[in-house]
Amino acid sequence: MEEYAMKFHEKEDIFLEFRVPKRTQAKADDLRFELRRDQNQLNQSVAQSKRRQVHVEVREEENDQRMQLIHAESNFNFLNMHLSTHFRDHIYQFGNILMYSMEFRELVHKEQMKDGWRRSNKIDVARQILNSYGQQHAIRMRLVNIEFLCNAGVQLAAIVLDYLEKTRISQQLPSSRRGLKWC
């Protein structure tokens, strides 16, 4: 892996123009503006037949100076390229990388935080998100208890069984659409 990283660092200059900081981009834009202003002044003193040639030369000079500025001030140091060199050691030391996955945390964030945010009125949001999640959890627990009682043979009212059937259908939806049907 380190060998691949070294090969990449030898060729990384190719990618520098795609990772230009905003400050460097602003300098390159200023440089381009100055060169084009100079070109316009030059075009007034040059004969019509030579304007195209001067335009091409100025364009090439503009591109060369821009690339020199980008190569001088840009860098390709970002964390992910360096982290990949440590994967082998971490697997030996800590085990499978998948057990440290963020997928579960991201799913929880979506289902609890984002859905709660959408349901809130955006005033005292934290309390409303917690209340929303607490209500959903309480309803799910009640439905699990009712389903357990049904399976245990306890006689329940027909309206409760109908409601339980409705919620079973809504729980079979994909996780992004899962929820309770409010009657």
Greater pLDDT, 34 or 2: 34
Helices (H) and strands (E) in the chain, counts: 9, 0
Domain count, the chain: 2
Domain that holds residue 147: 101-177
Segment 24-40 shows an average pLDDT of 84
Does the pTM of the predicted model rise above 0.85? no
pLDDT band at 80 (very low <50, low <70, confident <90, very high): low
**98, 116, 134: which is the final residue of a domain?**
98
List Cα–Cα distances, 147 to 14, 47, 135, 159, 181, in angstroms: 62, 91, 18, 14, 17
Same domain, 141 and 108: yes
Same domain, 92 and 114: no
**80, 98, 116: which is the final residue of a domain?**
98
pLDDT confidence of residue 178: 46
Average per-residue pLDDT for the chain: 76
